[in-house]
Structures are given as C-alpha cells and as structure tokens.
Structure 1
Amino acid sequence: MYLDQVKNFKAHPILYFVLPVAFLLLMVVNYIFSMGIDTNDVIEQTINQIGVNGAFILMIFPLSIGVFVVWFWVKFVQRQSITSLTTSRNKVDFKRIFFSFFLWASITIIMTVVAYYAEPENFVFNFKPQKFLIFLVIAIILIPLQTSFEEYLFRGNLMQGLALVTKSRIIALLIPAVMFGLMHLANPEVGKIGPVIMVYYIGTGLFLGILTLMDEGLELALGFHAANNLIGALLVTADWTAFQTHSIFKDVSEPSGSFEIIIPIFIIFPLLLFVFSKVYKWNNWKEKLLGTISTN
C-alpha cells in the first residue's frame, strides 16, 4: 500500500516537509513580487529578448532540475528508495505510465481537433517546421522532468509525509491538492480568467491525488501530467498562457473560464477515473480515500 509503507521509513517526519514548504514559500514570494505587474508583458519582453524557446527554457528549467533535487533529498537525506517514493509495487510500472500518457494524449488531441473544426475562427495556424522541431526536442526533454518534479514533490514526498504525521488519507489527499493549486497563483491564466481558475488547478491536484491513492502509486499521475503539459504545449499556445511556445496552433479566442474549468473537472476527470478503475480493477474507494493509515 502506497501510504501504509511509510511505517517502514526511518527519517524524521519533519524532513518530508522541508522541500514542499520551501518550494511553496518561493512560489508565494514570486506571487507577491508579481503583484501589480502584468505577467504577460514580462513574458512578452523576455520573448523579445531571448526568443520563444529561450523564454520557455528560462521558465521551465528550474522546475525540470527540481526532480533531481527531490530524488537526491529522498535518497540521501531521508534514506528512502526512489521506488518507494514512486509506488507500492516491487518496481515502477512503466506500462502504467505509458498507458496513462497515451490515453490522455489521445483525448487531448481529439478534443483539440474537435475544437478547431467547431470554431476555426478561434485558432491561427502557427506551425513553422524548423522552429517546431527545435521546440519539440526541448519540450520532450524538459516537460516530463518538470511534471515529474511536481508529482514527486506533492503526490510523493508531501503526501507520504502527511500520511506519516496525520495517519489520515483524506488529509494526505487534500493538502497536496491545495498546495499544488497555490503554486499556480502567479500564472498569467489567473490574471486573464480570474481566481475561479484555481478551481481547475486544485481540482486537477485532487484528481492526481485520487489516481495516486486508488492505484497505490504515482505511475498514472506521472503519465497523465506529462501528457497534459507536453501535448498541450505542442498543440496550442496563447498570448495569455504561462507556456508560450512554437506550437501547431495559436488560440486567439477570449477564455470564458467555463470550458477550462467545468468540462475537465466535473466531466472528463470523473470519466477518466471510471476508465482507470475498470482497467486496473480498483475497489474499496472509501477506505483508500478516507480511511486511516496503519503504522503498526
């Protein structure tokens, strides 16, 4: 059991909160300093100075190397194996990672194609082969590292630390979801759509947490998160998003907030949970999500 295995860990509980709290404090400081600043203008100025790919690397590289910081901390400070941080299984199930990745990648591509043909006036064809191929290489390397950092930090280290301290699955589920949402406060999407977009960020964190608890490991969350950010960045960009890239399409519509929030959180994610539950034969939902954690 992913959370129950914390009874075998020997590190002092406070060590599980050092990295998540430090990271969240950095995000809060960033948010405070960004208040009163037009984030879109800052991104545009950066792009003008070092180009789209340069700005993308500048933004994502610190998060991409963050996964190595988490692995180092867990391995050498907490004296815990990376496998136990990843899963309750004897070894990491890469088939689960790839299944989740390709499932969500396929759905994302289909939804983008449908949106394009339904309202083509909302999109501009942005494809430039040479620039796209260069960005493709950068994205394939950096984005999975970035998303893995967030999964290992929130659904891994923080969730296991909360399980160790509180013995409560619901607390271990909810607090990382909220912190995951808060780390996006400085994103330009918040300024464009409004604070209501936090429902999407926190809801996504909740969805990823449910995947982790029900499947007893991070594999499905790792695959989904990588597909969400990578395929999204390759397919569509917009002037008001955090990731502005050499994507295939550019969205020139005004976001309403309803599609970006209601459809994924209340329709698509529950359907995905249903699909995963059938594929991996999940059961005992109440105990896995709301029960207590045995440390005996």
Structure 2
Amino acid sequence: MLTFLARRLGAGILLLLVISLLTFVLLSIPHADVGRALLGQSAPQAAVDAKNASLGLDRSVLAQYGDWLSHAVRGDLGRSWFTGEDVWSALGTRLPVTLSLVVGVTLVTAVLSLLLGVWAAVRGGLVDRCVQVLSVVGYALPGFLVTLVVVLVFAVRLGWFPAIGYIPFTQSVSGWLSTITLPVAALSVGAVAGVAQQVRGSVLDVLQRDFVRTLRARGLPPGRVLFRHVVRNASAPALTVLGLQFVGLLGGAVLVEQIFGLPGIGSMTVQYTTRGDVPVIMGLVMVSVAGVVVVNLLVDVLVGVLNPKARVA
C-alpha cells in the first residue's frame, strides 16, 4: 500500500511541476507591457522599463520561472503586481467560498447518486426508466440555464433563499447555509445525473456476477448481499467518476459564482486573468491543480481499499 501511495504521490508532484511550467510559459507568450499597465499610458518609457526590470520581466522566461519555483517550494507565491496583496492572503479569503460549493456538491452528489443508482438497478422497470430519463435530462441541460431557473424560482419568486451574496461559516452557520444552498443545488443537477448512471450500470454489472448468485443461494439476507457485497464492488467505478466531477466543478464554479455574486476563486480567476496578473494566476493554477491531485489521490486510495487489485495498476 505504501508503494502504491508513493507512486501516486510522485505522479501528482510531477503533474504540479509540468502544469506550473506550461502555465508560466503560456502566460509569457502575449508579452503584455505590464509596466505600462501599472504606471499608465502617460508614464515615460524609462520608468516603464525600470518597472518591468523590477518585476524581473527583462529576463528569460526560464529564469523567471526558476525564480518563481524557488520561492513557491518555500511556500512563497509572491505578491500581486497590481494590488501588492500577498497571493496566499488573497487566496485565503476566496478559497473557503469555492470549497464550500465544491465539497457541498460532492457530498450531495455522492448521496443522491448512490440512492438513485442503486434504486434504479434493484427495482428496474418503471423506476429504472424514470431514473434514466431524469439522468439524461439533468445531464443535457446547460448549467447556466439550470442556475438561472433556480435563481428565478427559489430566490426571486418564492424568496426562500438570497439571490446573491455570501455569509461566512464563522459568522453565521444558518446564513452560510442559506447562501450556498442554491449554488450547490444548481451545480448538483448535472453531477448527480452523470454519477447516478454510473452507479446504476456498476450495480447491474455486479448483480449479474456468479459470486452474488452464490451468496443468495446460501441464504444470506438480500439487504446484506446488496449493501455489503454488491455496493462495495460497484462503488469503485462510481468513485472514479465522482472524482472527475469534482475536477469539473472547479471550472463550473466560475459561472455559478458570477451569477450568485460569490467571492470565490472563480470570480477571482476572471478578475486577475483579464489584468494579466501572473503571480495571482500562478497561485490560482497551483491551488486548483493541488486540489485535483489530492482528490485523485484520495479516490485512488479508496479504490485501492475497495479493490486490492487496483493497487498494482
């Protein structure tokens, strides 16, 4: 197991290095005159050149990346070129908002997908067809359309939840729940639709295996066979899809945060990318990729626990 974890962790670290290098190189391609953007169009060229030199932009891309990487491995992601704010401080105020959405959607998706998928696979017939239709419809609906409908119905017309804004968990638990309920619901529709179908297919596949028929022939209670043996063996593929959904949510949160006015990393990404603020963009990319690596590692560990054969892959 330790070798399995070390191999996965090494692959994650290598991914971080590759993504950071590619991102830094791509950000350097436009050759935007950052000094001019900071000092204004009327600033003398000598002052602009001096500003660019102070930011290290007069050096080669690889030299700039090496300097950034040497600081990043020590936990220093630098400061924003435009605001002077420490990147970690900026991320610290935005990251809890996005994590509230992503973790909330992941939990809702895991619970509802398991219930719907197992129910459809076991009951079959009309229940199975209804779940499949709902899954296809939920997966096909555009995310922005679902979000707008949720806002119009539950916030504007019914007034059950606020349409915009965010209340931190530390300030008010009930207020925090009220501000993330609609965003989580909007993001969960497509996620539940995709994972529920995977759960259904996996459960149906396991139900047809010989060991399940053997367990039933031995007289074990149906509930024990289903939840202790069938669901456990069928959960590995579903966990993989759930991990992929988590990765997709990091991108999908951008639109939802904009619509609901949430101060998360999604809206932060849009704001700082339009400015070309490289230190902040690099910090956002690294945090996002690190989150993907951690989630994939957790999924691999859980899959390895449920299916020991996966550890040799």
Judge same fold: TM > 0.5, yes or no.
no
Structure (1 or 2) with the greater helix fraction: 2
What is the TM-score normalised by the length of structure 1? 0.30
What is the TM-score normalised by the length of structure 2? 0.29
